[in-house]
Amino acid sequence: MSKPVDSAVSAVRAYVQHHREAFLDDLAEWLRIPSVSAQPDHAGDVRRSADWLAARLKETGFPVAEIWDTPGAPAVFAEWPSDDAAAPTVLVYGHHDVQPAAREDGWDTDPFEPVIRGNRLHARGAADDKGQVFFHTLGVRAHLAATGRTAPAVHLKLLIEGEEESGSPHFRALVEEHAARLAADAVIVSDTGMWSETTPTVCTGMRGLTDCEIQLNGPDQDIHSGSFGGAVPNPATAAARLVAALHDEHARVAIPGFYDGIQELTPRERELFAELPFDEEQWLRTAKSHATHGEAGHTTLERIWARPTAEVNGIGGGYQGPGGKTIIPSSAMLKLSFRLVAGQDPGHIEKAVRTWVAQQLPAGIRHEITFGGATRPCLTPLDHPALQSLVRAMGRAFEQKILFTREGGSGPAADLQDVLAAPVLFLGISVPSDGWHAPNEKVELDLLLKGVETSAYLWADLAENWRHAG
């Protein structure tokens, strides 16, 4: 690294060291607020958490820090314009609500009384997501201190929602309502993780999702399998045959048009996945599964990150109680969900599924399909200048090569991507052992401070290397 970079690193690190204790004290104060969005009796705490954060962001220096109400829990919006009008605008996304937690779930200490043991801070929300939101506050101060600026090098916006742990029911509407104020050149999502403590990574995408329920009706009531068995169509059989026909012998989804427009993995992307120290035995233990199974020609990581899926989440029909019942059931039901990857459109998938289902069913089986919500896939192009800045910033903080991952799941980040028409990047420092949603959730203090550092380097690098298009 060249000399100027080194001095920037030293300056950032000195600042972070100096403010470490105050930063952790502040975070602990926030973690003491049990902002559990799923529990109505904590509604006041979720609001208190939003108020606390808005006040703290003002103290940090954000000239604008507002509470944005929704029909559910409030979000916090903050804005700190750059003094360089031509700088790009970056929107940081996170959430201030947390999963439920109680001592009796298996916590060693009160989940809402943060405690540092060794080099770990334990509390509900330590990693998911208060810790990862909060490192941006010290990050931007370190950025200013190290660069001698009075305003960030980029136009900085924050949107910290209060209902993520409840499925973000009002998030899309909130983003649409405030689209003008949220407008950004890039979105930085700080609500994900890295490969491991020793392998820092950047996530470059999440899968999309669409799901449906299929109701299949055969006889008008359950009928006797002795009197009628073998001579009329059985809706449970029809349901099963639909599921069986979902995949071909290569475990590829067999719905015509399902792969239309899909962005195939490039050789470079496959190489990058293969660089990760993946241990399939260990992964299987995490998956609590007893074998891998999936699309031929792809590794497990490719299957969960970069390939679309069709999964049965639920199936039911006929008699499910103890013993037997000799009936042909009147009806059966399927719940299917489809994970989507870049290039796939949920609307197109819905149409393809509807057409396919109608063609599969035998005469005498009537059906009804209801689609639930749809979330688009996100994918940050590897050559996007903002991603390159992010990788450089992390590389400085971690002093290691940064590898690339993706997320198999789907999240509200896609709403930001869609409404704001901006690429989404993921800056997360959490690791799998942090125990999201589990007892004794923790954040690694060393990684938390690397997050602070990354945030500090990122804004300067972005401003220097990625000029606003407009």
Q: Is 219 in the site for a copy of itself (CB under 8 A)?
A: yes
Q: Is 313 in the site for a copy of itself (CB under 8 A)?
A: yes
Whole-angstrom distance, CA of residue 369 vs CA of residue 348: 15
End-to-end alpha-carbon separation of the chain, Å? 32
- Residue (174 or 304) nearer to a copy of itself, CB: 304
Whole-angstrom distance, CA of residue 126 vs CA of residue 111: 10
Cα–chain-centroid distance for residue 77? 20
Q: Which listed range, 53-61, 116-124, 238-246, 254-262, lies at the site for a copy of itself (CB under 8 A)?
A: 238-246
Q: Is 296 in the site for a copy of itself (CB under 8 A)?
A: no
Nearest by Cα to 33 from 116, 119, 151, 124? 124
Q: Which listed range, 3-11, 37-45, 186-194, 320-328, lies at the site for a copy of itself (CB under 8 A)?
A: 320-328
Burial class of residue 445 (count of CB atoms within 10 Å of its CB; 0-12, 13-18, 19+): middle
Out of 179, 244, 358, 421, name the contact with a copy of itself by CB under 8 A: 244
CB 105 within 8 A of CB 439: yes
- Residue (83 or 279) nearer to a copy of itself, CB: 279
Residue 226 CA neighbour count, 13 Å, CB half? 2
Q: CB of 299: closest distance to a copy of itself in angstroms?
A: 9
Q: Tell me, what amino acid is at 51?
A: D
> Three-class SS of residue 331?
strand
Q: Is 56 in the site for a copy of itself (CB under 8 A)?
A: no
Whole-angstrom distance, CA of residue 204 vs CA of residue 198: 19
- Residue (88 or 205) nearer to a copy of itself, CB: 205
Q: Is 221 in the site for a copy of itself (CB under 8 A)?
A: yes
- Residue (63 or 167) nearer to a copy of itself, CB: 167
Nearest by Cα to 276 from 239, 237, 304, 312? 304
Q: Which listed range, 187-195, 197-205, 209-217, 456-464, lies at the site for a copy of itself (CB under 8 A)?
A: 209-217
Q: Is 81 in the site for a copy of itself (CB under 8 A)?
A: no
Whole-angstrom distance, CA of residue 179 vs CA of residue 452: 28
Q: Is 100 in the site for a copy of itself (CB under 8 A)?
A: no
Token pair for 453: 């550092």
Q: Which listed range, 71-79, 268-276, 325-333, 455-463, lies at the site for a copy of itself (CB under 8 A)?
A: 325-333
Q: CB of 247: closest distance to a copy of itself in angstroms?
A: 8
Q: Which listed range, 32-40, 226-234, 344-352, 387-395, lies at the site for a copy of itself (CB under 8 A)?
A: 226-234
Whole-angstrom distance, CA of residue 202 vs CA of residue 406: 8
Whole-angstrom distance, CA of residue 186 vs CA of residue 205: 14
Whole-angstrom distance, CA of residue 339 vs CA of residue 410: 8
Out of 16, 27, 154, 328, name the contact with a copy of itself by CB under 8 A: 328
Q: Is 84 in the site for a copy of itself (CB under 8 A)?
A: no
Whole-angstrom distance, CA of residue 225 vs CA of residue 326: 5
Token pair for 12: 């950032």
Q: Is 277 in the site for a copy of itself (CB under 8 A)?
A: no
Q: Which listed range, 21-29, 35-43, 314-322, 377-385, lies at the site for a copy of itself (CB under 8 A)?
A: 314-322
- Residue in this structure with the two tokens 């403590």, named with its chain if needed: 197
Out of 26, 191, 211, 461, name the contact with a copy of itself by CB under 8 A: 211
Please list every residue from 156 through 175 that binds a copy of itself, using CB under 8 A: none
Please list every residue from 406 through 465 that binds a copy of itself, using CB under 8 A: 407-410
Q: CB of 316: closest distance to a copy of itself in angstroms?
A: 4
Q: Which listed range, 49-57, 126-134, 241-249, 382-390, lies at the site for a copy of itself (CB under 8 A)?
A: 241-249
> Three-class SS of residue 120?
strand
Q: Is 225 in the site for a copy of itself (CB under 8 A)?
A: yes
Out of 28, 43, 276, 284, name the contact with a copy of itself by CB under 8 A: 284
Q: Which listed range, 24-32, 179-187, 330-338, 351-359, lies at the site for a copy of itself (CB under 8 A)?
A: 330-338
Q: Which residues contact 132 (CB under 8 A, 6 or more apart)?
A: 94, 190, 191, 428, 429, 430, 443, 451
Q: Is 198 in the site for a copy of itself (CB under 8 A)?
A: no
CB 406 within 8 A of CB 381: no
Helix (H) / strand (E) element for 281: namely: helix 280-286
Q: Is 142 in the site for a copy of itself (CB under 8 A)?
A: no
Q: CB of 293: closest distance to a copy of itself in angstroms?
A: 4
Q: Which listed range, 3-11, 79-87, 284-292, 392-400, lies at the site for a copy of itself (CB under 8 A)?
A: 284-292
Please list every residue from 59 through 78 that binds a copy of itself, using CB under 8 A: none
Please list every residue from 361 through 400 that binds a copy of itself, using CB under 8 A: 362-366, 372
Out of 220, 249, 281, 383, name the contact with a copy of itself by CB under 8 A: 220
Helix (H) / strand (E) element for 180: namely: helix 179-182
Q: Is 308 in the site for a copy of itself (CB under 8 A)?
A: yes
Q: Which residues contact 272 (CB under 8 A, 6 or more apart)?
A: 382, 403, 404
Q: Is 325 in the site for a copy of itself (CB under 8 A)?
A: yes
Instruction: Tell me how many degrees the CA angle 308-275-252 measures, rounded to the nearest 5.
Output: 20
Whole-angstrom distance, CA of residue 257 vs CA of residue 62: 48
